Amino acid sequence: MSHTAEWKARVYLFEEAGTTKVRFDLDTGTNRLTGHGTARCNPTDSDVPEIGDELAAARALEDLTAQLKRFAYGDMEAAGTGPRPGPSLPIANRLWG
């Protein structure tokens, strides 16, 4: 079975007073998800905006990843199956749910 899909993604970055916030919007055509991430610059560190952007974006993607997994697992259960047993999730994934 062949399948092609196009998902649309937008990333928004906001910085103010040493804090970077990222919103990552994903439209799969059937679901719209939003991941959020934040990074704060330690007052004793050099202010390098790119580092805050990268960290906040990575955290937003981690949030989005957890949401996508929950949707996938729900769809699997609705189809009559569930997630396969395997190694436990990394701690970062367990923290997000």
The whole-model pTM stands at 0.77
Q: What distance, in Å, lies between the first and last C-alpha atoms of the chain?
A: 32
Read off the amino acid at residue 56: A
Domain extent for 56: 8-96
**Residues 7 and 29: beta-carbon distance below 8 Å:** yes
2 belongs to a structural domain: no
* Residue of higher predicted confidence among 34 and 30: 34
Predicted pLDDT at 20: 96
If one counts the domains in the chain, the total is 1
Query: Domain for residue 3, yes or no?
Result: no
Could you read off the pLDDT of 12-31 as tens digits, one per residue? 999 988 899 999 999 999 89
Return the CATH number at 48: 3.30.160.240
